[in-house]
Structure 1
Amino acid sequence: MTHAEVGEPEKDELRFGFIKLTDMAPIAVAYEKGYFEDEGLYVTVEAQANWKVLLDGVIDGKLDGAHMLAGQPLAATIGFGTEAHIVTPFSMDLNGNGITVSNEIWEMMKEHIPMEGGKPVHPIKADYLKPVVDKFRSEGKPFKMGMVFPVSTHNYELRYWLAAGGIHPGYYAPHKGHTSGLIDAEAQLSVTPPPQMPATLEAGTIYGYCVGEPWNQQAVFKGIGVPVITDYEIWKNNPEKVFGMTKGFTEKYPNTTIRVVKALLRAAKWLDENNNANRPEAVKILSQPEYVGGDYDVIANSMTGTFEYEKGDKREVPDFNVFFRYFATYPYYSDAVWYLTQMRRWGQISEKKSDDWYFETAKKVYRPDIYATAAKELIADGIMDASDFPDFTSESGFRPPQTEFLDDVTYDGKQPNAYLEKLTIGLKDETL
């Protein structure tokens, strides 16, 4: 493929949305480093109030694309919530979330956690939270936790962690109008926008939450809560955010779309280059008010490869935020399938679907074809190397079976129904 194959952008003035989280970094870096301009694109980047406003903005064309929860394009395309055909040609990052509990809950959990040298043994499982939840329920008090959106990774990760510890996080039954996910719930999960998590925890409205950074580390800095586990420990190198656009946009402006992906790929590579050597500069960018805003030190805590659990218990987590390593940017069908299995597990997808349905849906939304075109252009331009990417001639879009889950259940994206059968808490064949 020669460089000339991708023509001039059909639309060169673009507006992208994001939520104030550190994993929006590829968009900020592509803007600040001039990678969008190198592609002839004049981009405006705007923080959005919440995930629903952001999604609506992309659907109605106010935004040309956005930093999205991986579940959003999938849910929109299958019509859970707002219906619209959204695609993703670019996966934004791996890992990056944590689960935090209030100081009070931490003290109650602590008596059940094994210790070594005066420090808790990690990973901290929800098994140690179960006696606390049971105590609350026996006293007639609901145990409330926060996550950021019904189709967010955070919702599925928090549910996964709770269920692995024998705590039922509740079912959805949209066909009956039950969209709060509280059916049979032993822990009640509700939506709280990320920047409001620490204040909601401090007010006692929720006892814990699952969120992206910097909002777990913020709880440590404020002394109001303790992060107990990162999503890296729940599912090592799990896919996190994606860049979403409407299918209509990608069809109307194919060259623009490819050029956007090229700029984002360069930004992702820059973020991980030389063992994260550029991260301090990235933190400086992100701490500006128009991006994430906030204290440099809070953002740096996780972005530079450490994570602080209990105050003073700082541990090395070099892969807490991954933007390019391990082919993080490639839109794998198997990643999409995992999200769909969780939607089915908790009833957001009301009835059992065939394995083929999972594969077809993944292929409607995840677009490795657009990604590969952008990558080949960068290789042809001499900006990137073929080794930076999967082998496009043989790549199936399915990662090999993944074994590194907290509960030791192996996930094989080629067998979604067989995977659901292995999970002890969750729907299998039944419709609620």
Structure 2
Amino acid sequence: MQTIYRNWKKTVTSLATAGLLIFGAATSASAVGEPEKEDLKFGFIKLTDMAPLAIAYEKGYFEDEGLYVTLEAQANWKVLLDGVIDGQLDGAHMLAGQPLAATIGFGTKHTIITPFSMDLNGNAITVSNSVWDEMKKHVPLKNGNPAHPIKADYLKLVVQQYQNAGKPFKMGMVFPVSTHNYELRYWLAAGGLKPGYYAPLKGDTSGTIDADVLLSVTPPPQMPSTMEAGTIYGYCVGEPWNQQAVFKGIGVPVITDYEVWKNNPEKVFGITESFAKKYPNTTTRLVKALIRAAKWLDENNNANRMEAVKILSKPNYVGADAKVIANSMTGTFEYEKGDKRAIPDFNVFFRYFATYPYYSDAIWYLTQMRRWGQIGEYKPDSWYIDIAKKVYRPDLYKLAADALIAEGKVSATEFPVFATETGFRAPQSEFIDNITFDGTKPNAYIDSFPIGLKGKETVK
């Protein structure tokens, strides 16, 4: 039945296109060309920021492009990456650092690219109740509630207590090249805590060399139970797994990544470079569908978010209770139980050019890889820029955006001005440590941190 439907739809589309061509007005879809591959399987991890994939499927945006997509949850980020590399998956919801790390050979070596950035913000750092009870003694109050943002300075006092008792302080993050790892490290270091170094040239990829806080990998859905068991004392993860800790009464999110770095890039959609070259029309069409999904998620001041929450709560997507997902997805965020605050930009999918794959976003991740030793040796500024341009592909994004603009589905004003866009955001200073990031000067940025590798330093 599905095959009959596809053939019917293809015939109707061809006739419609032919009719328009007779009158001299070829559609943008015909300009893009028919998809070279129609049947696609995309992977994701059960997090709310996989939403553009779910919405593109549920709203028929993939089918509008002649794409018949299967979405499949993956066990963890490594399995997901391996699936894209070996071709079991055609593409996937990825950590922003994954295509970069794979391309430069940290971990698995393979050229992965991204033509689409999936979202901004969406993560938080949660600590156990016992850790929060100690932190809270030192956190200033405002109107009777803890004043935010809460810096790691207050965690440092707790870590010192653990160290004095000869007990290592352990926290979880989701993957060595995850945003969560770098955000957690950034927050800890801004508070004077050393999160540890990697030394891949020496065969040490633990990331715990000279660490005050020992960070380890835990898959996102397992974060709350792992903390509840006492294996870790806190974690950095995407939603809904911080709010899950609040609902279960086992922990307190102390800071969101929006407060660590305002409007930080989060996930990307990753495909192999070879896929994009072999299936250029398919690539353009899938990006078109994802752009439309992202726009739907943010349009009319997030008016569609409750519908999105209901979709994401399905077992085949995130599978968490809708109330838990809604706690952060609909413009609020709950810290301590009952301390719910408005954060309308906690999840951003389209505003602020969120879907555009900026080179400077890629460079930020590369600077953090170098800062913590994952890039073991000094690299010139040109190297960072070259890698960013190899992996982040605004040229492919532009093809999809231009087609949607021509079709009248989006406005040109909703995108960067492509004729003058350089791929570099203006210098950003809204970080928790007030250090300014200029993507055109990666080494100067790396050298500006009190904690971290600098210049030609290596891990000893």
Superposition CA RMSD, Å: 0.7
Structure 1 residues 276-315: aligned runs within 5 Å: 276-315=302-341
Distance in 1, matches of 2:448 and 2:41, equals 43
Match of 1:355 among 374, 377, 381: 381
Q: Deviations over 1:4-56 (max 9, x none)?
A: 32100000000000000000000000000000000000000000000000000
Q: Which of 422, 425, 431 is equivalent to 2:448? A: 422
Q: Deviation at 1:91?
A: 0.1
Count, aligned residues: 432
SS at match of 2:132: helix
Corresponding residue number in structure 1 for 2:193: 167
Correspondence for 1:230:
256
Structure 1 gaps of 5+ residues are none
One-letter amino acid of the structure 1 residue matched with residue 123 of structure 2: N
Unaligned runs of 5+ in 2: 1-25
In structure 2, distance between residues paired with 1:419 and 1:271: 34
Structure 1 distance, partners of 2:103, 2:156, is: 36
Could you tell me how far apart the structure 1 residues matched to 2:142 and 2:334 are? 17
The equivalent position to 1:367 in structure 2, one of 382, 389, 393, is 393
Partner Cα separation in structure 1 for residue 388 and residue 27 of structure 2: 29
In structure 2, the residue corresponding to 1:133 is in which secondary structure?
helix
Q: TM-score by structure 1 length?
A: 0.99
Task: Report the 3-state secondary structure (helix = DSSP H, G, I; strand = E; otherwise coil) of the residue aligned with 1:180.
Answer: strand
1:258-283 CA-to-partner distances (Å, cap 9, x unmatched) read 00000000000000000000000000
Aligned to 2:171, the other structure's residue is in SS state strand
Which segments of structure 1 move beyond 2 Å, counting only runs of 4 or more?
Answer: none
Specify the alignment match of 1:128 in structure 2: 154
Q: What is the distance in 1 between the residues matched to 2:284 and 2:247?
A: 41
- Secondary structure in structure 1 of the residue aligned to 2:71: strand
Report Cα offsets for 1:195-228 as digits up to 9, x if no partner. Answer: 0000001000000000000000000000000000
User: Structure 2 CA distance, aligned partners of 1:116 and 1:401?
Assistant: 31
Counterpart Cα distance in 2 of 1:116 and 1:33:
43
Cα distance in 1 between the residues matched to 2:240 and 2:108? 28
Aligned to 2:37: 11
Q: Which amino acid aligns with 1:316?
A: A
Which AA in structure 1 matches 2:373? G
AA aligned opposite 1:212: G
Pairing 1:152-231 to 2, within 5 Å after superposition:
152-231=178-257
Q: Is residue 142 of structure 1 aligned with residue 168 of structure 2? A: yes
Q: Distance in 2 between matches of 1:59 and 1:174?
A: 22
Counterpart CA distance in 2 for 1:117 and 1:266 is: 41
2:361 partner letter: D
Q: CA deviation at 1:117?
A: 2.5
- Return the offset for 1:403: 0.9
TM-score (norm 2): 0.93
Alignment match of 2:94 (pick from 57, 68, 71): 68
Q: Does residue 387 of structure 1 match 2:413?
A: yes
- CA distance in 1: counterparts of 2:166 and 2:27, whole angstroms: 67
State the shift of 1:2 in Å. 6.2
Larger radius of gyration: 2
- In structure 2, C-alpha distance between the alignment counterparts of 1:313 and 1:278, rounded to whole Å: 24
